[in-house]
Amino acid sequence: MMAVFRTLRRNVPYLKQQLCALLGNTSNSVKLICFVVLISYALSYWDLAVEVISVTPGYIMPPLRLWSLFTFCFMEIHFWEVLIDIVTVGLCGKLIEPLWGPVEMLTFFAIVNFGVGILTTTFYFILYYCLNDIQCLYNVYIHGLAGYIAGVSVAVKQIMPDLVIIKTPLGKLSNRNVPLSVFFLSLIFKIVGLVDGTYPTMYFLGLIVSWIYLRFYQKHSNGTRGDMADYFTFASFFPNVIQPPITIISNSIYNGLVKIGICKRNLRKFDMTNPSGVTISVSNMDQHDMERRRQIALKALSERLSKSYSDKQPLLPLSGSTANVSLPPVVAQNREESSTSQNVQEAVSIPIPSTPAVKATSEDT
């Protein structure tokens, strides 16, 4: 324990510098979340605090520890998980908050974490009834921002789906592949023992909750809700090989939800009576998707043009420019001499009247 504190004390200046660079120009809500996570990590060395702040399935029923559904997301046991949480929340403040606004970002934070707490508790109740193991109720502590990390990966996939993160010999890793890749990585970490047993469950349920909210219920500035784009279907999270069966299953569930009124069907109208041709009226959600893609394309084009302009600056100013360019002494001297000689020639040049031609004699030769 003392060695850990000594290591942290030596790296405090570096960590402070990196955190200031990450959290700079972010909202107060982002900084508050990071601060509460750090305070909760300090309390994690007290076992009673871990039990009180975390969700224990057997104690969640009212009037016991119902408040833990609102506090469990801030509790982390491992310091490297705290760093991942802070980096995730900071990137959310840099990438997502400027597009959504601080209120929508906090709404997304609350909905995802609360939904993950409810569904994870339900999962361990089902596990208890299947295994008849009392430890599933009273020896399990649900805590951390694993569900919110999954939600941020889904939101980044929605905003920038085609952005390539890294190129490998096996192919390109883009934002489309991040959510499912991190889920399988969490399973490996669970087998190795780097994360708790609840981490993969919370992450997977975070994928489900965040996708449902962003797909059907998120309210946009133009009054529409959700994002019914084709690239944001549930099957798009999986590899292309297994997308057809996933599409059949997800469409069947979606049609069932539409029949009972939980979801609304996305309709496209075709006007065949238009004499000038066929008029297609796309939904507002598709228009929102096209507008978002247009803004991202314009931003990328602007950055590329500014970079190209900075790389191709002229070495000398254009004619009529007032910029001063320092030249080497020899070049400057030669330039002054040529300018002086040119001025002298212009001043001495006097027109001479033409005279009749004189016949050359032998003395001229």
Nearest to 119, CA basis, from 203, 205, 56, 197: 205
Q: pLDDT tens digits for 132-172?
A: 989 999 999 999 999 999 999 999 999 888 888 888 787 78
Q: Which residues of 162-192 are buried (b: 16+ CB within 10 A; e: fewer)?
A: eeeeeeeeeeeebbbbbbbebbeebeeebee
Query: Do the Cβ atoms of 199 and 190 come closer than 8 Å?
Result: yes
Q: pLDDT tens digits for 30-58?
A: 889 999 999 999 999 998 999 999 999 98
Assigned token pair, 55: 């969700």
Residue 106: pLDDT band (50, 70, 90) is: very high
The H-assigned helical ranges of the chain are 2-10, 12-23, 28-43, 47-53, 68-71, 79-91, 97-100, 102-131, 135-138, 146-159, 178-192, 198-212, 243-259, 284-311, 329-348
Q: What is the phi/psi pair of residue 328, to 5°?
A: -60, 155
Residue 222: pLDDT band (50, 70, 90) is: confident
Using a cut of 0.75, tell me whether the model's pTM lies above it: no
Domain 8-232: which topology? Rhomboid-like fold (1.20.1540)
Question: Where do the domains of the chain lie?
Answer: 8-232, 268-308
What's the pLDDT at 226? 86
What mean pLDDT is reported for the chain? 77
Please determine, for residue 280, whether its predicted confidence score (pLDDT) is greater than 70. Answer: no
What's the pLDDT at 318? 47
What's the pLDDT at 277? 46
What residues have CB less than 8 Å from 71, skipping those under 6 apart?
Answer: 53
H/E run at residue 269? strand 269-271
Of 27-41, 52-66, 207-221, minimum mean pLDDT range:
52-66
Residue 316: pLDDT band (50, 70, 90) is: very low
Assigned token pair, 123: 């999962």
- What is the mean predicted confidence (pLDDT) over 15-32? 74
What's the pLDDT at 275? 47
Residue 321: pLDDT band (50, 70, 90) is: very low
Of 160-169, 297-306, 348-357, minimum mean pLDDT range:
348-357
Assigned token pair, 309: 């302009």
Query: Do the Cβ atoms of 213 and 196 come closer than 8 Å?
Result: no
What's the pLDDT at 287? 52
Query: Do the Cβ atoms of 114 and 171 come closer than 8 Å?
Result: no
Angle of CA points 23, 211, 299, to nearest 5°: 50
